Structure 1
Amino acid sequence: MISDATLYPARPLMRRVARLGGVIVAALAMIAAALVVPPAVGAAPVFPAQDPDAFYAPPADLGARADGDVLRARTVPAPAYPGVDAWQILFRSTNSAGAPIAGVTTVLIPWGTPADRPLVSYQPFINSLGLQCAPSRQLFDGGLQEAPALNLLLQRGWAVAVPDHLGPTSAYGAAQLGGRLVLDGVRAAQRLPEAGLGRSPVGLAGYSGGGMATGWAAALAPTHAPEIDLVGAAIGGTPVDLGEIAGRLGGGASSAFGLGFAAAIGLEREYPTRAPLGDVLNDEGHALRDRMSNLCTDGILAAGAGRSIDELTTRPGVLDDSSVRTVMDENSLAHAPQVPRAPLYVWHGDADELVGMGPVQGTVGRYCASGARVQFAVLPGGDHGSTAVAGAAPAFAYLGDRFAGVAAPTTC
């Protein structure tokens, strides 16, 4: 029997996930602030410091390459994953403005497994702005809370890809971008000859923010990467409607406000002309944005603890403007016209205090009505933190059945 302790270091995980409550709330409030006021001259996004490792630098011919092309690759030591070879791949992708970017995925391959073994792309929840906080870094330095869960996938003989799904500017909050990076990372893993994954069936999994990137990848796959043999996807605790969360939870002072403010900074990075956060910040707000621009989760939480929107912006009541919906809806699965065509497993706690179940039920219903095959699992008494742990093993088992060719169940 697999214990919760095997899945994750549960208590630290739950504390970290629980902090996400103010994340989305404050993030959306700050996005609203960014959209309410016309752009001002000289207000520009604050981007993270460039990674000093030359491996991450895009090559000169980036624009001439296709999405998912391998730009370079290297092996890396992976002592936390015994019996596994680890590769990091720099690949070509596209940002939300249609410009070429370089993405990174880390691929773990168990020794002795055959070519074209199943491949799972696992998307962690990442709440950071500094490039040193990305999974390709924190997988190996102890900073990634979900890292132990990957052993459950590797023990099945599956290869595992873990993409830096916030992208090269750490655009925290830009979930649709995350979906494209997931798919292009899978393409890159399959195009790396040494990995032996060229004809592998593919599954996707992720929780909370990782569930957003996973859900978007599943929804975009039929049009963005139809050649991928996507057998199924599993998402849990997923914020599918950012506007609903903002309206329900409001934008008051919060211990997790820093993460929300960070998400607004991330969206400004991805949508610099459409979500110009700097245009509505006062001096104190600009100082906080500068301070956070290279921080990881704990630093962001400490910097923003107890703050509120109104004290950092030039006008109060920024949540009341309807223009906020544009960017939020574009990154909300509940409003996306795309529908996953691969089987989908969705799990959610019925006591989730942060991500309401109603929008998730509505999104599942819309998928079902559009012909998708969805299994919706509700965990009685599960809050946002405990559901991450309790739902992981069933989600992985669901993917195992899809790899085995078992017909996908449905609750539609």
Structure 2
Amino acid sequence: MRLNYLAITAISLWLLCVPNTISAHFFEPNVPTPIPSWLNETQINETLSEWDAFRNLSGCHAGDRVDGLSKLKKYFQYFGYISNSSSSSFNFTDDFDDALKSALETYQKNFNLDVTGELDERTVQQIVRPRCGVPDIVNGSTTMNSGKYNSSSSTRFHSVSHYSFFPGKPRWPDSKRDLTYAFSPGNQLTDDVKSVFARAFERWSTVTTLTFTVTDSFYTADMKIGFFSGDHGDGEPFDGVLGTLAHAFSPPNGQFHLDGAENWVISGDVTKSSVTSAVDLESVAVHEIGHLLGLGHSSVEDAIMYPSISSRTRKVELVQDDVTGIQELYGANPSYNASSTPSASHERETSDGGPRILSSTWGLRALFAVGFGLLFL
């Protein structure tokens, strides 16, 4: 009787730990990829229009009243440019008021855009890009490091710092240099899919003292990877196609969740995919692993840890900004050849310095909102 009770308890705990895991969808590589008949094209177009409609606001400036500005204000509120504490009294109208202008100027500064306070074309293009769901501003202070630099007046030397960390600068302890990872048993992923993650982990082990080993023991693994749908128990429900793609928690939590409804390319040339919303799985995996290891976001557009990634884009190579950040946490791999790491080409220096520390509870997770659906081989 006691054994039966323990068995039931164990099964119950398993169900609580692995909610709503789902199977992923796969397609053949390097061939034209039509949208499958079971995928609702109407749903895709409706989801696309939520952010894509912001394109209609291009050219708006202070004093205008244009349909859709109220939704843009909610967008800025979500990403921290309009404080949640003041949202109850905030004027969510279609008026381009001073508060929207102020939010827009801060946004432009964070993304190294010209600070015009207007919805110019470059700003609108950035707004509609798929991006991370973590707010850029938490509790009134920015968490993005927009091209800050350090300088020494005595040596006339300065170094650009763009990477950031989570609150308290969490990292895996020195006693854990070989970290294990496992996949949710409910997903039943193929070896081809698992190999994508192995390559992503290897990119970080190449530059650090860390190594990563896959294990079949999901519940004892340091890092747990799974595809989920909807509300999956961590307080950050997935929203289906073209919403939040994935999120990862800072050390030592180790949780890495991906939305099973998204469009993924596992192999082949993602840039030639006939599905315009296709996304390269390895590109997202490398980014999220950076969060698992303790890195926040960088304002360097070429960096892996940059918040946004466009569809049909492959970006898997660490640049110097990523390497400098992760080596500050874990040191350098003795075999690492620094000359082989590309420098970022989109750096922009501004006035104050130092790597940034993400603040508030938002820093405990990284929600990568890239708006894609399904898995492609």
Structure-1-length-normalised TM-score: 0.26
Structure with bigger helix share is 1
